[in-house]
Amino acid sequence: MENISISLSESDQDRVSEVRVDGVIDTTTAGELEEVMDSLLKRDRYRVVLDLAGVDYISSAGWGIFISHIKEVRANDGDIKLANMITNVYEIYELLEFDKVLKVYSSVDAAREDFPATSGHQSKKKASRSRN
Amino acid sequence: MECMFRRPIKEVNAEFIAEEKYLDSLQRTVRETCVSAGLSRRDVTAVHLAIEEGATNIIRHAYLYEKGTIRLRVVVYKKLIVFSLIDAGRSFQPEGAGRVDLERLVASGRKGGLGFYMIQKIMDSVEYISAAGFNELRMIKRIAPARPESRPFLRRLFTLRVKFSFWTFLSVLVIIGGAYYYIDRRTSQYLYDHLDDTVSSLAHTIAAQAALHAINHRSHVEFDELIVSYLQSNPELQLIVLTDSSGLILAHSEDIHNIRKPYKIPAFVSTAELGVPQRYRVNGQQYSYLMTPIRAGEVEIGLVHVSYSSAQIHDKLTRARWRIGVLTLVLLFFGIIGIYFLSNYFVRPIVNITRRVRRFASGDLETELPLEGAEEFFEISRAFNEMITRLSRDRKNIVAREKMAKEIEVASQIQKTLLPLELPSVPGLELDGYYRAAAIVGGDLYDVFAISPERYCITVADVSGKGVPASLVMSMLRTVIQIQSANAVSAKETLIKVNDYFEKNIPPGMFITVMLVIYESARREINFVSAGHNPMLLYKAGEGEVVRINPAGMPLGMPTTLGPAFEERLEEVQFTMEEGDAFFIFTDGITEAANREGQQYGIDRLINLFAAEMARSARLEISSLSKAIISELDDFSGFVKPADDITFIVVRSQPPESTAGMDLPPDSEEREIETKSVKNPGPEPTETN
């Protein structure tokens, strides 16, 4: 099957975690990304920017990760922001009307800057994590 | 059963095993059909996604990952495609029965239903039908014509037809205009000349009659009657004056009171030019003035002055020009319409070609232009067909090559997962393994694993050939060795069992050489067999020597008809690992590594190197030894690409802390150790390589 590679870089300054994904996010590879997301949320890191420049294809398993977490993330003053989508992926994103739910940015920096400046207090985990 | 009003253009039926690994080929079928049906690139990707959701759902929920098949039917109509995924598993009720709402999905924080939401969003119509033990997910996608890049309106207005009509119109206009101008000039010149001639002859006649009157001494009244009668019958004449030789008026058409008085010739008239019409203008009207002498014999006795106007001719000409102009415009108007439709005739082949090219662009690689029409279009069609043929051939090649590269990559990844990432720690031994594939996928194997806490298996093998087939056999081999070693008491028994398996299952023409070592940690005892493999290099710390041990044995997978049975030929060797002893097992990629001159590295160099390095690195990590071997090999072969995989394992019995390394001469002696056969010794130890 196709491969996926995920690299994570976390900044303590603006509390943003940047997840760079390369490859294809489908049923067979979505598990890895899910683990990364879970580990971030478990550590109260709710500001996530996904760099999708190297992603050729996202199946429902992939979109599902974003859609299923967005509520919890937003409830904790965070967001999942998608950056650098290639045209193919963006067209699907638009077609499926995910633009109503997830924000896209033309670059990681633009996504980063769109987070409000961190105030002194770190938001505590409020919503209980629903797993199925 | 499809109640579409049109007949289907194409129907594809295929059946796939309901497993995720077969999704790719299902998708390929869908994709190819979509592309040839002219679906836009975006829609093809979207359909891909919807089909993936549908098929994954069948595998997971309808069949619960159990055996089953998915039937795919794709029916292409002119303006839509109907996709059906049919299964014989459990039927499922789509969540919420009806349209899935994105907001509710987000609110639920779950992933269920997202797939169905996506299908609904992508497809124009979705139906789920369960009947007679079959479930059908029927999805309809409208074929939206791929939107061409928009061009400015003005540019689009200038089609070939319009341009053609415009230029034709313009050239016809210029030709007609030129011809008209020429004819008009000629005609009007003729008319004016004709008028001059007419008036001139009139003037002569008047002069002749006046001469007669003068000779007969007629009265002024008769002169007057003469000019009045001419004036009345010739409307173009404006004025007639008769004068005698001394310039006195004999008759005047406008003034009868000045008879016998001198006639004042208008200022613009030159009296010198008799008989020539002189033009003048009054109030914008053009007039001509002509003087003709009245002669009696040879004697000039007076003058006839005539003034006449060309207004009538001018009026006639103007009217004629208008008529011709209007007529020309009407004719041109119909002409243009005619030209426009005529141009269709020329443009139609271009339109045809465009349509075909577009079909080709939308993925129908089979399309061909009919070789017909005018020579020019015939040539274009032929050139286009040639291009298509070449392109589709190249494309097929590229697709095939990409597929192959992908498969090899997959195989290479699988292979990497099959080779041990890290060698296990074996009590009393230091181990290091090395593997470098010559191709992306190699056929060599090395493996170290624990059979039980006291028994370990160390093995190196070389599958004949390279590439995917070799790597597949190699992965099979690794599994079989791991399984069989658990049930066998010795290396020999293990390998016999392994051979039993491969005898039946190896592809014809392929064979494997194996070095299989079993180490018993309690007694530090080694027993090993070699199925036609390169010798083992054994370093005896006590003597500081390297010996090569090469027990008899045939490669796995050799036809048994060629000689004695495999187990009869197989010799087992046993020895005990003293402290500091080491052995080196490898594949022929090392000894056959060649340098630029074509020289092989050879076993002698290897033995010397091994002996020297063992002596030198007695107190160093075992990995430094393998590094030394690799760098020596690389130095030897330079930049020559290795022809075969390079694999080795080096094993050293851990020296007690106190034991120091011994100094040894680098050129250690080598000798063949006496092999100790357990039973049925073969005729002679064979040397591979």
B217, two tokens:
């001494």
The whole-number pLDDT of residue B200 equals 92
B582: which strand partners? B539, B652
- DSSP label at B672? B
Which residue in the block uniquely carries the two structure tokens 């009806």?
B98
pLDDT at B147 (0 to 100): 59
Q: What is the mean pLDDT of residues B217-231?
A: 84
Do B503 and B560 meet the contact criterion of CB atoms below 8 Å apart? yes
Q: Given pLDDT bands bounded at 50, 70 and 90, which one contains residue A118?
A: low
Confidence of residue B562 (pLDDT cuts 50, 70, 90): low
Mean pLDDT check: name the lowest of B138-142, B164-168, B649-653, B680-684: B680-684
Separation CA B496–CA B484 (nearest Å): 9
Please report, as a single letter, which amino acid is at residue B3: C
- CA B372/CA B356 separation, integer angstroms: 14
Q: Do B106 and A95 touch (CB under 8 A)?
A: no
Per mean pLDDT, which of A102-111, A123-132, B554-563 is the most reliable? A102-111
Q: Which residue has the higher pLDDT, B442 or B75?
A: B75
Average pLDDT estimate for A74-103: 88
Q: What are the backbone angles phi and psi of residue B140, rounded to the nearest 5°?
A: -115, 130
In this prediction, residues B604-630 reach a mean pLDDT of 84
- In DSSP terms, A93 is beta-bridged to none
The per-residue pLDDT of chain B, averaged, comes to 82
> CATH assignment of B150-367, given 3.30.450.20, 3.30.559.10, 3.30.450.80, 3.90.470.20?
3.30.450.20
Structure confidence at residue B516 (pLDDT): 94
* Stretch (H or E) spanning B431: strand B429-436
Asked whether the beta carbons of residue B121 and residue A96 sit closer than 8 angstroms, the reply is yes
CA distance B655 to B72: 66
Structure tokens at B552: 């008899």
Q: At what angle do helices B160-215 and B311-361 cross, to 10 degrees?
A: 170
- Give residues with Cβ within 8 angstroms of B195, minimum separation 6: B236, B288, B308, B310, B313
Do the Cβ atoms of B214 and B295 come closer than 8 Å?
Answer: no
Q: Cβ(B648)–Cβ(B629) under 8 Å?
A: yes
- CA distance readout (Å), B522 to B322, B456, B538, B581: 126, 11, 20, 16
Mean pLDDT, range B346-354, rounded to an integer: 78
Look up the pTM and report it. 0.40
Share of chain B above pLDDT 90, in %: 14
3-class SS of residue A108: helix
**Residue-wise pLDDT tens digits, B118-143:** 888 888 888 888 877 788 889 999 88
Q: Say yes or no to pLDDT of B629 above 70.
A: yes
* Shortest Cα distance, chain A CAs vs residue B112, angstroms: 8
Centre a 10 Å sphere on the Cβ of residue B313 and count the other Cβ atoms it contains.
Answer: 16
Q: Residue B518 above 90 pLDDT? A: yes
Q: What is the mean pLDDT of residues B505-514?
A: 83
Chain A residues in contact with B410 by the CB 8 A cut-off are 1
Query: Phi and psi dihedrals of A104, rounded to 5?
Result: -115, 155
What pLDDT does B151 receive?
A: 63
Residue B111, classed as helix, strand or coil, is coil
At B56, list the tokens: 């994954």
Q: Looking at beta carbons, which residues of chain B come within 8 Å of A68?
A: 109-111, 114
What is the CATH code of the structural domain delimited by B10-142?
A: 3.30.565.10
Position B619 confidence tier, pLDDT thresholds 50, 70, 90? confident
Q: What is the DSSP string of B58-85?
A: IIIIISTTSS-EEEEEEEE-SSEEEEEE
Residue B458 pLDDT > 90, yes or no? yes
pLDDT beyond 60 at B198: yes
Of the candidate ranges B171-175, B242-246, B254-258, B530-534, the one whose mean pLDDT is the lowest: B254-258
* pLDDT tens, residue by residue, B390-411: 888 887 888 888 888 877 777 7
Q: What are the backbone dihedrals phi and psi of residue A46, each rounded to the nearest 5 degrees, phi first?
A: -100, 0
Distance from CA of A99 to the nearest CA of B (A): 11
pLDDT in tens, A11-70: 877 788 899 999 888 888 888 888 888 888 888 888 899 999 888 888 888 888 888 888
pLDDT at site B440: 65
For chain A, give the mean pLDDT.
Answer: 81
Q: Does B27 score more than 60 pLDDT? A: yes
Q: What distance in Å separates the CA atoms of residue A42 and residue A45, rounded to the nearest whole number? A: 7
Looking at residue B655, what is its pLDDT?
62
- Is residue B660 scored above 60 in pLDDT? no
Cα A29–chain centre separation: 15
Q: What does the pLDDT average to over B296-305? A: 86
Other beta carbons less than 10 A from residue B346's beta carbon? 15
Contact yes or no for A130 and B110 at CB 8 A: yes
Identify the pLDDT of residue B561.
Answer: 64
Tell me how far apart the alpha carbons of residues B145 and B39 are, in angstroms, rounded to a whole number: 7
Which residues fall within 8 angstroms of residue B295, CB to CB, at 6 or more apart?
A: B207, B211, B301
Query: Which among A64, A70, A92 is the nearest to B49, CB-wise?
Result: A92
- The angle that helices B41-57 and A60-75 make with each other, rounded to 10 degrees, is 90
Collapse the DSSP code of B616 into the 3-class scheme (helix H, G, I; strand E, B; otherwise coil) and give the result: helix
Q: What is the pLDDT of residue B235?
A: 85
With pLDDT > 70 as the criterion, what percentage of chain B qualifies?
89
Partners of A101 on chain B (C-beta within 8 Å) are: 102, 106
pLDDT value for B676: 38
In sequence order, the β-bridge partners of residue B296 are B299
Neighbouring C-beta atoms of residue B76, cutoff 10 Å: 21
Identify the residue among B106, B408, B409 best suited for mutation to test binding to A, counting A beta carbons within 10 A and taking the highest.
B106
Kindly determine whether residue A67 and residue B105, on different chains, have CB atoms separated by under 8 Å.
yes
Which residues of chain A are within 8 Å of residue B39 when distances are taken between CB atoms?
none
Q: What percent of chain A has pLDDT over 70?
A: 87
What number of residues does chain A have? 132
How deeply is B378 buried, as exposed, middle or buried, from its count of CB atoms within 10 A (0-12, 13-18, 19+)? middle
B592 exposure class (CB count in 10 Å sphere: 0-12, 13-18, 19+):
middle
pLDDT of residue B680: 41
pLDDT in tens, B413-444: 777 777 777 888 888 888 988 888 776 667 78
Which residues of chain B have a Cβ shorter than 8 Å from any chain A Cβ? 20-21, 41-42, 45-46, 49, 52-53, 56, 102-103, 105-107, 109-112, 114-115, 117-118, 121-122, 410, 413
Amino acid at position B299, single letter:
V
pLDDT at B519: 93
Single-letter code of the amino acid located at B10: K
Strand order in the sheet with B69-76: B10-17, B69-76, B80-87, B134-142, B125-131
How, if at all, do strands A79-83 and A103-105 pair?
Answer: parallel
Of B476 and A122, more confident: B476
Pairing of strands B455-463, B444-452: antiparallel
Euclidean distance between CA atoms B356 and B377, whole angstroms:
13
CA B3 to chain centre: 36
What is the predicted pLDDT for the residue at B222?
Answer: 83
Q: Is 50 exceeded by the pLDDT of residue A125?
A: no
Buried b (16+ CB within 10 A) or exposed e, B220-231: beebbebbeebb
Residue contact A67–B114, C-beta within 8 A:
yes
User: What's the confidence (pLDDT) of residue B379?
Assistant: 83
Determine whether the interchain pair A91/B45 forms a contact, defined as Cβ–Cβ distance below 8 Å. Answer: yes
pLDDT band at residue B658 using 50, 70 and 90 as cut-offs: very low
| Residue B668 pLDDT > 50 | no
How near does any CA of chain B get to the CA of A38, in Å?
Answer: 14
* Higher local confidence (pLDDT), B334 or B4: B334
- Reply yes or no on whether the pLDDT at B586 is more than 70: yes
pLDDT band at residue B661 under the 50/70/90 scheme: very low
The pLDDT score that the predictor gives to residue B481 is: 92
pLDDT score of B178: 93
How open is the CA angle A106-A112-A113, to the nearest 5 degrees? 95
Say if CB A84 and CB A51 are below 8 A apart.
yes
Q: In what order do the strands lie in the sheet with A4-10?
A: A4-10, A16-25, A47-58, A79-83, A103-105
Cα end-to-end distance, chain B, whole Å: 69
Domain ranges within chain B, ordered by starting residue: 10-142, 150-367, 419-653
B27 CB-side CA count, 13 A: 19
- Asked if the model's pLDDT at residue A115 lies above 90, the reply is no
Q: What is the pLDDT of residue B94?
A: 55
Contact A104, A126 (CB under 8 A): no
pLDDT in tens, B167-192: 888 898 899 889 989 999 998 899 98
Higher pLDDT, B642 or B114: B114
Structural domains for chain A: 4-113 (3.30.750.24)
Pick the CATH number of B419-653 from 3.30.360.10, 3.20.20.80, 3.40.30.10, 3.60.40.10: 3.60.40.10
pLDDT tier for residue B3 given thresholds of 50, 70 and 90: very low
